[in-house]
Amino acid sequence: MSVRQPSGIFAPGVIEEIQRKAATGLYQIRGYGTLRERRWATFDDLTFLPCTLTRIPLEGYREKCNTKVRLGTRFARKPVALDIPVMITGMSWGALSYHAKVALAKGAATVGSSNTTGDGGMLMAEREHSRSLIYEVLPSRYGINVHHMRMADAIELTIGQGAKLGTGGLLLGSKVSDRIAEQRDLPIGVDQRSPARHPDFLGPDDMIIKVEELREATDGEVPIFIKVGASRVFDDVKLAAKAGADVVVVDGMEGGTGASPAILQEHTGVPTLAAVCEARAALEDIGLYGEVQLIIAGGIRDGVDAAKAIALGADAVYIGTAALIALNCNKPIYEEDYAAIGAAPHACHHCHTGRCPVGITTQDEDLMRRLEIDEGAERVANLLRAMTLEIQMLARACGKSDVRHLEPEDMAALTLEASAICNLPLVGARKVFGR
């Protein structure tokens, strides 16, 4: 062994982190989500089994394959009707710039999809440009406004977030500008730490009453989503359904964030692949699969991830980071500004600094102007279009005339872990492991 062999335990990155702690006495805060090389089962551990002699495919470029989806059919008088099953998740005005929020709204609306407010209340421009706007009610209640709630197409009661389970939001002082401080009723420049618990209910039984209150405030018209970070998914999904959710959103550990302690992003929660399997099993267990719709989030990158999530039981997926990447996140432009914050294109997770080189996660007027709203919106729309085509391609190859007809049987597992988690046969073995 070389005398220059680095330790596998105290690897260079570990040494750097220990010495950073020694210098500052603080844990590390950053954005983006987990950076780990994934050794757990992911959507990549599944493969589709398209039609051959046992199934008949649909013509890939010609025959109809429906992508429309209705969410909130359980109780709401006006379910959310979307043209595609890929939606934009909640990201706050504060974490994101005004330009980014409006570009996401416009992009989603262009292709008949939805976008979601976030932990900072609603932007009026966001409402104006949205086709379907989901209004989040979060523990912090920043910017809470009953009139905005009543303008929304759905209410999302957020219990937690996959990237940072069991904790509230975080917005460092560099992003708490005068406009953001006013919107959130905070002093300018504070390191804002949002509450982890809702201020007016604690457990699942109280939440039943809360859901009823939200229905009263919206006169029973719009669906109530309940969003949980993926932890004890099987129990949480049942409790959310029991509380009267029309739609349950499960956010896996690969989900992103604008700022959070790094250890929470790396070492808490259940991966998205496992989460969708547990969520479906939970709804089946209480006889509500299909009646309560399921949205899956957390690291969804493309139409393949989305199609696999749908095949495993989701009605739709949320994307967040992927949509930001469409807006130029991590693109190799303004490279000197990446360097200035200690980052580099393709390896930037410095959303927390408020110095986003491409104008997405910043409140700096000069930086945010780098994101041209209409161009950004078109790129978001294009991403959603391409993802939808990818989902349809896989669905047609599997012989489905509706993307939501994709089912577990259309796939096999490439690894033992995925076989056990997804209850799918391992390729070549023709049997499910771990059953």
Partner 1 sequence: MTIDCRGKQIREINRGIRAGLASGEVEVLNPDARHNLAVALLQPGAVRIRGSVGYYCGGLMDGATVHIEGSAGWGLAESMLSGMVTVRRNAGNGAAAAIRGGTVVIHGNAASRLGVSMKGGLIVVGGNCDYMAGFMGQKGVMIICGDAGEAFADSMYSTVCYVGGRIADLGNDAVIEPMSDDDVALVESSLRTHLGEAVRATKPAAHAFRKVVAGKKLWNFSHRDWKTWQEAL
Q: For the beta carbon of residue 409, count every other beta carbon within 10 angstroms.
A: 12
Question: SS in 3 state form for 237-252?
Answer: HHHHHHCCCCEEEEEC
Concatenate the DSSP letters of all residues of 23-90 into one string. Answer: HH-S--EE-SS--SPP-S--GGGEEE---SSSS-PPPTTTS--B--EEE--SS-SS-EEESSSEEEPB
What is the Cα–Cα distance from 303 to 314, expressed in whole angstroms?
13
Q: How far is the CB of 190 from partner 1 (least distance, A)?
A: 4
By beta-carbon proximity to partner 1, the closer residue of 38 and 193 is 193
Phi, psi of 209 (to 5 degrees): -70, -35
Please report whether residue 356 would count as binding partner 1 according to CB under 8 A.
no
By beta-carbon proximity to partner 1, the closer residue of 209 and 340 is 209
Please report whether residue 333 would count as binding partner 1 according to CB under 8 A.
no
What is the Cα–Cα distance from 71 to 245, expressed in whole angstroms?
11
Please report whether residue 112 would count as binding partner 1 according to CB under 8 A.
no
What is the Cα–Cα distance from 280 to 277, expressed in whole angstroms?
5
The pattern of x and - marking residues 182 through 201 that bind partner 1 according to CB under 8 A reads --xxxx-xxx---x---xxx
Q: How far is the CB of 217 from partner 1 (least distance, A)?
A: 4
Task: Judge contact between 169 and 227, C-beta under 8 A.
Answer: no
Could you say which of 26, 53, 56, 124 contacts partner 1 (CB under 8 A)? 26
Look at residues 99, 117, 94 and name the one whose alpha carbon lies nearest to residue 180. 94
Could you say which of 219, 346, 366, 435 contacts partner 1 (CB under 8 A)? 219
Could you say which of 2, 24, 52, 54 contacts partner 1 (CB under 8 A)? 24
Retrieve residue 176's tokens: 């708490």
Could you say which of 16, 63, 128, 206 contacts partner 1 (CB under 8 A)? 206
Cα dihedral value 211, 216, 221, 227, nearest 10: -20
Taken in order 4, 9, 11, 15, the sign of the CA dihedral is negative
Please report whether residue 147 would count as binding partner 1 according to CB under 8 A.
yes
Q: Which distant-in-sequence residues (6+ apart) come within 8 Å of 7 by Cβ? A: none
Stretch that binds partner 1, among 22-30, 78-86, 122-130, 372-380 (CB under 8 A): 22-30
Q: How far is the CB of 264 from partner 1 (least distance, A)?
A: 12
By beta-carbon proximity to partner 1, the closer residue of 14 and 217 is 217
Q: How far is the CB of 175 from partner 1 (least distance, A)?
A: 13
Q: How far is the CB of 191 from partner 1 (least distance, A)?
A: 5
Please report whether residue 140 would count as binding partner 1 according to CB under 8 A.
yes
By beta-carbon proximity to partner 1, the closer residue of 261 and 425 is 261
Q: Where does this chain bind partner 1 (CB under 8 A)?
A: 24-26, 29, 140-142, 144-147, 149-150, 172-173, 184-187, 189-191, 195, 199-201, 206, 209-210, 212-213, 216-217, 219-220
